[in-house]
Chains A and B, each alone.
Chain A
Amino acid sequence: MGEKMEKLLDVENVSISFIQYVQGLNQRDLKVITDLTLDVSEGEILAILGSSGSGKSLLAHAIFGILPENANLNGKIKYKGKELSQKDKEELRGKEITLIPQSVNFLDPLMKISDQAIGKTENDAEKKEKKAKQREIFQHYNLGPEVDDMYPFQLSGGMARRVLVSTALLSDPKLVVADEPTPGLDEKTVQETLNHFKHMKEDGVGVLLITHDIHAALEIADRIGIFYSGYVIEIAENKDFSGDGENLLHPYTKALYKALPANGFELTKGHQPLHGEIPEGCPYYNRCEMAFDRCKKERPQLISLGNKKIRCFKYEEGA
């Protein structure tokens, strides 16, 4: 990856919590994301890998300013170095930053494909221009003119994926956020979808891939952020996921790598603590073989180690 590429997205210490009613009128603050830090540069694919249901999709919602009302967002989300306000997010979304949603369910079932891809237009001239652009990109993704007049239910899984991808590219975005683009697709369509991301990268677009699919992440991402119990615990380079996993830093990441059927199918006990069950110290404390006293009481911060980032006292100086 080129060092000169401009940084597009900076997510710094983002936490997201929800106000929940527990009993009667008693409220509690349920933290789903506690500390999420990552960055994406031009022409780079960064994957954030977490198990399903871990709340990582909320990150996408936070970037686009579409979190529900009872959500509480803290931390900084910056685009090209500037911290984004809700108003900024509304300005940028759909233009410089676009979302590839999880499924075709995000399309309007009663609207023709071409109309919803183009979106709102002021006048006929603009509509014509946008329509031409849309046709060009759709054609590029192998979607013939007949697709323009279809409704979402008429699309196959692979076609729907191509529609979502090409729609996201209509505005020539600098940054694309893809939320779980692979589940429910067969091998061929997954491959096709991943190739789309590779092409975006070649065109200098930055891609944030939110996924639970480690194979997909390893195939296309330059760097991979590991999301565990609401924290980013490591950001590793793709090449670190090789050999015996000796270049991976966090014990959880190593365990995850070795648990893959092709890498030994090794058993590691324990489970990710639930929201509200996370220990006082390191979120991985209960499962960690290298844990020492400090890990029980104190929460490690995410520190930079060259190109990588790691949240573990073992890698702190003097530890």
Chain B
Amino acid sequence: MELKATNISFKYPSAKEYLLKDINLQLDNNKVMGLIGDSGSGKSTLCKILSGYVTKYEGSVTFDGNPLPKKGFKPVQLIYQHPEKVMNPKWKMKKVLGESWEVDDKTLSEFGIQKTWLTRFPQELSGGELQRFSVLRSLNPETKFLIADEMTTMLDAITQVQILDSVLKIVKQRKMGFLLVSHDMDLVDTICDDKIYLKDINGA
């Protein structure tokens, strides 16, 4: 499995200068990779390009040799920092989760999700609890590659370990690819096999 970015360049329509310039990146499912960059350096934009959510850019992104699908399920899934922003506030958690796939009880408990949470609305749960749902929702069986963009930044250290531990177990079990984007050097050094600094690969 290979997620490959070739000569990616991006600039906002109103901006004069490029935010990302001639980025080449090759990711696979053999290594857990970490991406490090300052805020405002364009890491989130790069993540959106790699997962197919930003489509107006120069260069190409291919997954196993093919362009990312424009319709249907996206094999490269992206998780953001703020779970409350990616959930329908008028849906109960069971529906939020069911939007993606039917999760069995065993997986629910592995992710530390209590059954009683399923009948709650997003606003009734804490950030850590919501992020468990957001992560599990993205782990649809069709997901091949997961990009975690500051996924645990807002969480306490214990919840951070719990969520990353559960995710990495599934990633290894299903032989998925995983890119961890973070500003926390200690975290990247702890869980990633290798790391990339955005400023080293960004020609802008």
Contacts and interface: CB of A to CB of B under 8 A. Distances in A.
Interface in A154-188: 183-188
Contacts of B125: 274
A269 B187 contact: no
A271 interface: yes
Given A52-B126, A269-B112, A256 B186 contact: no
Contacts of B158: 255-256, 259, 268
A54, A255, A269, A274: residue with the most chain B Cβ atoms closer than 10 Å = A274
A212 B156 contact: yes
B65 interface: no
A51 B128 contact: yes
Contacts of B165: 267
Contact of A260 (B40, B128, B183, B186): B186
A75 to B, nearest CB: 23
B189 interface: yes
A262 interface: yes
Contacts of A259: 156-158, 160-161
B127 A53 contact: yes
Contacts of B160: 259
Is chain B's interface secondary structure helix, strand, loop, or mixed overall?
A: helix
A266 B164 CA distance: 11
Given A262-B186, A265-B190, A269-B162, A52 B127 contact: yes
Interface in A177-225: 183-188, 212, 214
Contacts of A214: 156-157
In terms of DSSP, what is the predominant structure of the interface of chain A? loop
A202 B176 CA distance: 51
Contacts of B162: 267-269
B105 interface: no
Contacts of B114: 271
Contacts of B186: 260-262
A231 to B, nearest CB: 15
A262 B187 CA distance: 8
A267 B156 contact: no
A272 B154 CA distance: 15
A80 to B, nearest CB: 33
A125 B76 CA distance: 63
A266 B190 CA distance: 11
A266 to B, nearest CB: 7
A250 to B, nearest CB: 13
B184 A256 contact: no
A186 B37 CA distance: 10
A270 interface: yes
Given A183-B154, A270-B112, A271-B112, A51 B187 contact: no
B159 interface: yes
B173 interface: no
A255 B159 CA distance: 11
A225 B125 CA distance: 23
B191 to A, nearest CB: 8
A188 to B, nearest CB: 8
A2 B190 CA distance: 38
A185 B39 CA distance: 7
B126 A261 contact: no
B149 interface: no
Contacts of A255: 158
Interface in A264-282: 265-272, 274
Contact of A51 (B155, B183, B190, B191): B155
Interface of B: 38-40, 112, 114, 124-129, 153-162, 165, 183-184, 186-187, 189-191
25 contacts: A51-B128, A51-B155, A51-B156, A51-B159, A52-B155, A54-B126, A183-B153, A183-B154, A186-B39, A187-B183, A259-B158, A261-B186, A261-B187, A262-B186, A262-B190, A265-B190, A267-B162, A268-B161, A269-B112, A269-B162, A271-B112, A271-B128, A271-B159, A274-B124, A274-B126
Given A261-B191, A274-B124, 14 more contacts: A52-B126, A52-B154, A184-B39, A185-B39, A214-B156, A259-B156, A261-B186, A267-B162, A267-B165, A268-B161, A269-B112, A270-B112, A271-B112, A274-B129
